[in-house]
Structure 1
């Protein structure tokens, strides 16, 4: 079903030997029986990609070297494998996908926790332990792939297949009721989507960030109030006053340990929740007495599984959730990483392929 017009392609590959990216020419892969060969329409940059270049002790593992980075993309099916699931896709389908491969997709962990914990112990993550999506073609597992809903375009949908799914479930898993207060910590690539999901679910939202351009984006996405937690020294008291004693949940999309340290002060004592999504370089420090005495609860959320991907994407289509996406060329990926590290980017940045 379909074929590629050439044998090689360009790929942005991370090399651990010099801790740099290299634009290499590599072979176009051939799909296994359960896979789809996809022509990447857009691959967008996630903070987890940048963690490859940083020292961290949070369990990020590099498999092959060099490796094509990127784990957030959408594209167009070129060729399908022979198994029943793969054969349901046809050439020309616009699709999005998650990055876990070589897991079973059927065990309790794969269905309800995360594919990383598959009982077979063989899970690999594209963009880290296998080649990812900052290349022209990629093979993805058909079981972790879906056809885009009507009205969604593969050139703009890429951020929804990590940032979108992550932000949706991070907000939904707070289990708030309409009208309750949610603090969104970090209003950038994940947070600007989280604010849109929260408003679509009927929550009142306070956006927190250290970059004014991110706060402007938060306002556009519907945040009721925004505060710069670096320049406004009284932001915590203001949040407590606005909410009548604290937010019902605070969801942290950042990689800042300080923002985690600061979050409990704005959570309403009792049933208030700290939702962990962003992964700082250093381990978090949680006051055990606060948790034991019920001052606040702690919970985590991630981009989940192929089984909860579809509800997030369908909700996005129904409620017209749109990522703020700036397009670049493949050779511009180092510039994109620089912008992300300097907090100068708004929303999501993605490579648009021809």
Structure 2
């Protein structure tokens, strides 16, 4: 007789009682009618995962405790729920997905803004208010999933389903003409992908970061110029000289408030934009007179819904845009967090499952 199917799995869970991660053995979940059970192939670390361990003023909500962290993954369908939306997938399908659950997916906010603002007020984000993806299995809403294009490998494509979608729309939502100047502020896990998207869209790109490793990553990803904003005290003047008065958009992928404070100096007056993507711990401050008199605009970018996910993934496949990812084991997630906090990581870091 064959062995009975596994009933439990390993998961990296955050516990607010000691503000630490624990590698726990927990039950494998069962999909509800509209859900898929996914055997995780790859789960990657996002900076917002690390925000669980930090005090912040940006409305990050923890639900259940302990909670499995991680909201960026790809995998294979292991089982489907009984409902119509789940039946569109079959066992073994390679899939990617995003993390909002329990929203309606049908109201104006869900379709046009973000599931976080669903009119039901019931939205949960996996990895924060509900179990996420640093585990051997996860259940996800079938409406948030898509079968991967043939050229994308489930064992390396996880970063596309947060970093990729976020970076793509961070650039695309600037709505610039080809040949425009774009500054990518922060060239790490998000920014190294933003540079690739910006180049593929026909923009001239300047990378800005505070570490030499990230500057090298920016160049490797195709940035036309790259500046270390700590080492080069003249970087803002150099950028305005290079671009004839400033960039058309500064897309900020960092969690640094100072980097936002520094953006107005490199944006072209009257036509420039500051695109807010990264979320610092403290609220941002912009000069009201600058905005009222049209010195620059401030805009946010939708970081991913089931309605705009597919365009980003298909663009990535078409233009061969892939995350630069370092692989780890599930028990090494604390090491990944340490590397992210110390700014020693290049690109993205992910757990690859057997």
TM-score with structure 2 setting the length: 0.99
Within 2, Cα distance between the matches of 1:96 and 1:37?
A: 12
For these two proteins, the number of residue pairs brought into alignment is 352
- Name the structure 1 match of 2:229: 229
Within 2, Cα distance between the matches of 1:248 and 1:57?
A: 30
- Name the structure 1 match of 2:60: 60
Residue 328 in 1 paired to residue 328 in 2?
Answer: yes
**Superposed structure 1 runs of 4+ greater than 6 Å apart:** none
Residue 246 in 1 paired to residue 246 in 2?
Answer: yes
Matches for 1:51-200 after TM superposition, within 5 Å: 51-200=51-200
| CA offset digits 1:92-144 (Å, max 9, x no partner) | 10000000000011111111110000111100000000000000000000000
Within 2, Cα distance between the matches of 1:211 and 1:311?
A: 32
Contact 2:113 2:302 in 1 (8 A): no
Q: CA deviation at 1:290?
A: 0.1
SS across alignment from 2:214: helix
Contact 1:40 1:353 in 2 (8 A): yes
| CA offset digits 1:190-216 (Å, max 9, x no partner) | 000000000000000000000111111
SS across alignment from 1:306: coil
| CA offset digits 1:232-253 (Å, max 9, x no partner) | 0000000000000000000000
- Name the structure 1 match of 2:295: 295
Contact 1:113 1:304 in 2 (8 A): no
Within 2, Cα distance between the matches of 1:166 and 1:205?
A: 18
Within 2, Cα distance between the matches of 1:52 and 1:221?
A: 30
- Of stretches 285-294 and 302-311 in structure 1, the one that deviates more from structure 2 is 302-311
- Name the structure 1 match of 2:285: 285
- Name the structure 1 match of 2:267: 267
Residue 201 in 1 paired to residue 195 in 2?
Answer: no
Within 2, Cα distance between the matches of 1:153 and 1:304?
A: 20
Contact 2:196 2:222 in 1 (8 A): yes
Contact 2:195 2:221 in 1 (8 A): yes
Within 1, Cα distance between the matches of 2:148 and 2:326?
A: 20
Contact 1:103 1:121 in 2 (8 A): yes
Q: CA deviation at 1:183?
A: 0.2
Contact 1:39 1:78 in 2 (8 A): yes
Where structure 1 has 5 or more consecutive residues not aligned to the other structure, the ranges are none
Contact 2:98 2:304 in 1 (8 A): no
TM-score with structure 1 setting the length: 0.99
Within 2, Cα distance between the matches of 1:9 and 1:340?
A: 26
Within 2, Cα distance between the matches of 1:5 and 1:272?
A: 57
